[in-house]
Copies of this chain bind each other. A is one copy, B any other.
Amino acid sequence: MSRTRVQHFSISLDGFGTGEGLSRQAPFGHAGERLHAWMFATRFGKTMFGQQGGTSGVDDAILSTFAVGIGAEIMGSNKFGYPGWHENKDWTGWWGANPPFHTPVFVMTQHKRAPLELEGGTVFHFTDAPPADVLAMAREAAGGRDVRIGGGVRILRAFLKERLIDHMHLVQVPILLGRGVRLWDGLEGLEQVFDIETTASSSGVTHLMFARKGG
Using CB atoms and an 8 Å cutoff, list the residues of chain A in contact with chain B: 13-15, 174-179, 184, 186-191, 196, 198-200, 204, 206, 208
Of the candidates B174, B189, B198, B208, the one whose C-beta lies within 8 Å of that of A178 is: B189
Contacts of A187 in B (CB 8 A): 14, 176, 178
Shortest A188–chain B CB gap in Å is 3
Contact in complex: B196, A188 (CB < 8 Å) = no
A14–B184 touching, CB < 8 Å: yes
Question: Across chains A and B, which 6 residue pairs bring their CB atoms closest together, nearest first?
Answer: A178-B188, A14-B184, A174-B196, A198-B200, A176-B190, A200-B200
Say what secondary structure dominates the interface of chain A. Answer: loop
- A177 partner residues in chain B, CB cutoff 8 A: 188
Q: Name the B residues within 8 Å of A204 (CB-CB).
A: 196, 198
In the assembled complex, 12 residue pairs joining A and B whose CB atoms fall closer than 8 Å, in A order, are: A13-B191, A13-B196, A15-B184, A174-B198, A176-B191, A177-B188, A178-B184, A178-B188, A179-B188, A198-B204, A198-B206, A206-B206
